[in-house]
């Protein structure tokens, strides 16, 4: 049986979960993979954490040099998160001929090319299944299960925190601030929730996943990003009346005009496969030209689900005869840059306060039409207040640029008191 020595950098939520999976399922992994995986070192500034897990004193260190100089270590697992010191530690491991497994989406999405260069030079692996969608094996599905396909689109709920908040708002009618507070109380949102609620976390993940899905290098700066902090309870309620559920979607599409990579709130129909993905759960709907639709669903975060993906990568690193690298030229050469299309095609939900006078709606419809925005559905809600009424339009598929021009035109109309909300509708 092949012996594999592992070092775990960081014994936080995912690091301690990884230790637990490797310990509790050691025999199962030995039997199914023919691997004897042993934790040979842990790097942790708080040694008490390691002691509480029963890790031998001689294996606990705060020195990365000690870890990467240890000949018993074959695979270094980085589960610290963030850019530094994770980047320095991973670089040291790769340069010392250790394969690296990481759950670090921010680092991979921003420094993938650089780290992969070190991995290739030293002929070792750099694996990051746990960086995207936690325990759901999305990366292996894309790279080892869909090779026969051109992946044409990927639409996912890939951030559990925002899905928990939006689900609460939908089900309980609560406002954003209340739902965020509940998420924090239940441990589904950080004390500083910015990375999740502003869509950064999802943009890191979709940059990685769209690169793999479309075999084109997509960087974080290529991803259009809009978070959920401006979402209003009234739009969730009115959207529900029209048959929609609001989600923070991460979308990657391969279109004739280029690659689209975006993260933003969007309505989906109640019958859409992603509509029933609630609470902290994640799901990704992939469309391949040969296989048609595939949907993956599961826990996108958490100690043991994420550790499940980490340990899968450890086994992958240990059982491959050659390291695996991304199947595209992942260089920083601008000439290699992928063609990104930001003029997305989308339907829209548009909520306005409009003068409740004869002819007002036709003026509004006129501005939409003049700018190439077709109307699919119109709803006027309830009584008018101060002579203005709430009117909701659902548009036909519209280009982003046309919609922006239409909004500017509407703001000039005397009949429009305010443009209250503009939310994309994903088919
Ligand atoms: N904060 C992330 C989420 C954790 O809510 O999905 C996993 O990246």
Q: What is the pLDDT of residue 385?
A: 74
Closest CA to 279 of 259, 260, 262, 302: 302
Identify each DSSP E strand in 343-374 by its residue range.
Answer: 345-355
Active site (annotated) includes residue 205:
yes
CB 189 within 8 Å of CB 196: yes
Atom of ligand 1 nearest to the CA of 159: 6
pTM for the model stands at 0.96
Pocket lining for ligand 1, CB < 6 angstroms: 134, 159-161, 196, 201, 300-301
Number of other residues whose CB lies within 10 A of the CB of residue 216 = 22
CA-closest residue to ligand 1 atom 2: 159
DSSP bridge pairs for 252? 154, 261
Q: What is the pLDDT of residue 329?
A: 54
Mutational pocket test of ligand 1: of 81, 201, 263, the residue with most ligand atoms within 8 Å of the beta carbon: 201
Catalytic residue, candidates 205, 257, 270, 358 = 205
Q: What is the pLDDT of residue 217?
A: 85
Q: What is the pLDDT of residue 328?
A: 65
Q: In the block, which residue shows the tokens 């491991």? A: 93
CA-closest residue to ligand 1 atom 7: 301
Q: Which helix (H) or strand (E) holds 35?
A: strand 35-43
Q: How far apart are CA 167 and CA 42, in angstroms?
A: 38
Q: What is the pLDDT of residue 386?
A: 82
Atom of ligand 1 nearest to the CA of 195: 1
Q: What is the pLDDT of residue 332?
A: 55
The domains located in the chain, with CATH, are 2-131 (3.40.50.720), 139-299 (3.30.360.10), 345-426 (3.30.70.260)
CA-closest residue to ligand 1 atom 4: 301
Find how far residue 345's CA is from the centre of its chain: 21
Number of other residues whose CB lies within 10 A of the CB of residue 383 = 7
Walk across the sheet containing 99-102 and list its strands: 60-61, 35-43, 2-9, 75-78, 99-102, 126-127
Instruction: Kindly give the distance from the C-alpha atom of residue 164 to the centroid of ligand 1, in angstroms, as a whole number.
Output: 11
Instruction: Kindly give the distance from the C-alpha atom of residue 162 to the centroid of ligand 1, in angstroms, as a whole number.
Output: 9
Instruction: Kindly give the distance from the C-alpha atom of residue 223 to the centroid of ligand 1, in angstroms, as a whole number.
Output: 18
Instruction: Kindly give the distance from the C-alpha atom of residue 364 to the centroid of ligand 1, in angstroms, as a whole number.
Output: 41
Atom of ligand 1 nearest to the CA of 134: 7
CB 215 within 8 Å of CB 187: no
Each of the 427 residues of the chain gets a pLDDT tens digit; together they read 999 999 999 999 999 999 999 999 999 999 999 999 999 999 999 999 999 999 999 999 999 999 999 999 999 999 999 999 999 999 999 999 999 999 999 999 999 989 999 999 999 999 999 999 999 999 999 999 999 999 999 999 999 999 999 999 999 999 999 999 999 999 999 999 999 999 999 999 999 999 999 888 899 999 999 999 999 999 999 999 999 999 999 999 999 999 999 999 999 999 999 999 999 999 999 999 999 999 999 999 999 999 999 999 999 999 999 999 987 654 555 556 788 999 999 999 999 999 988 999 999 999 999 999 999 999 998 777 788 999 999 999 999 999 999 999 999 999 999 999 999 999 8
CB 102 within 8 Å of CB 91: no
Pair of tokens at residue 218? 């997509």
Instruction: Kindly give the distance from the C-alpha atom of residue 134 to the centroid of ligand 1, in angstroms, as a whole number.
Output: 8
DSSP bridge pairs for 353? 390, 418
Atom of ligand 1 nearest to the CA of 164: 5
């Amino acid at each position: 049986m092949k012996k594999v020595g592992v070092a775990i950098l960081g014994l936080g939520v995912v690091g301690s979960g990884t230790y637990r999976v490797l310990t509790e399922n050691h025999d199962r992994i030995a039997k199914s993979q023919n691997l004897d995986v042993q934790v040979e070192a842990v790097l942790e500034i708080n040694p008490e954490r390691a002691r509480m897990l029963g890790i031998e004193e001689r294996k606990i260190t705060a020195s990365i040099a000690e870890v990467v100089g240890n000949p018993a270590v074959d695979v270094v697992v980085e589960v610290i998160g963030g850019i530094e010191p994770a980047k320095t530690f991973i670089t040291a491991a790769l340069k010392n001929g250790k394969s690296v497994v990481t759950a670090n989406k921010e680092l991979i999405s921003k420094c993938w090319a650089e780290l992969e260069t070190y991995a290739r030079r030293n002929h070792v692996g750099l694996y990051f299944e746990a960086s995207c969608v936690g325990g759901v094996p999305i990366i292996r599905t894309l790279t080892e299960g869909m090779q026969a396909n051109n992946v044409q689109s990927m639409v996912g709920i890939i951030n559990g925190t925002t899905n928990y908040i939006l689900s609460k708002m939908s089900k309980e009618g609560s406002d954003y601030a209340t739902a965020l507070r509940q998420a924090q109380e239940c441990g589904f949102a950080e004390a500083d929730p910015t990375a999740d609620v502003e869509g950064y976390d999802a943009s890191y993940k979709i940059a990685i996943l769209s690169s793999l899905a479309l075999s084109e290098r997509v960087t974080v700066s290529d991803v259009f990003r809009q978070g959920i902090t401006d979402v209003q309870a009234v739009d969730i309620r009115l959207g529900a009346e029209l048959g929609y559920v609001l989600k923070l979607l991460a979308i990657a599409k391969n279109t004739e005009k280029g690659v689209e990579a975006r993260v933003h709130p969007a309505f989906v129909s109640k019958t859409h496969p992603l509509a029933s993905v609630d609470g902290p759960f994640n799901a990704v709907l992939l469309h391949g030209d040969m296989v048609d639709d595939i949907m993956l669903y599961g826990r996108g975060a958490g100690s043991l689900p994420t550790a499940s993906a980490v340990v899968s990568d450890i086994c992958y690193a240990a059982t491959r005869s050659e390291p695996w690298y991304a199947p595209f030229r992942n260089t920083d050469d601008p000439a290699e840059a992928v063609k990104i299309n930001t003029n997305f095609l989308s339907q829209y939900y548009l909520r306005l306060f409009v003068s409740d006078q004869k002819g007002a709606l036709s003026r509004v419809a006129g501005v939409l039409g003049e700018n190439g925005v077709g109307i699919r559905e119109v709803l006027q809600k309830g009584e008018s207040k101060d002579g203005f009424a709430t009117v909701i339009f659902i548009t036909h598929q519209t280009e982003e640029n046309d919609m922006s021009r239409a909004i500017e035109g509407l703001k000039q109309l005397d009949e429009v008191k305010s443009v209250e909300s503009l939310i994309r509708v994903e088919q």
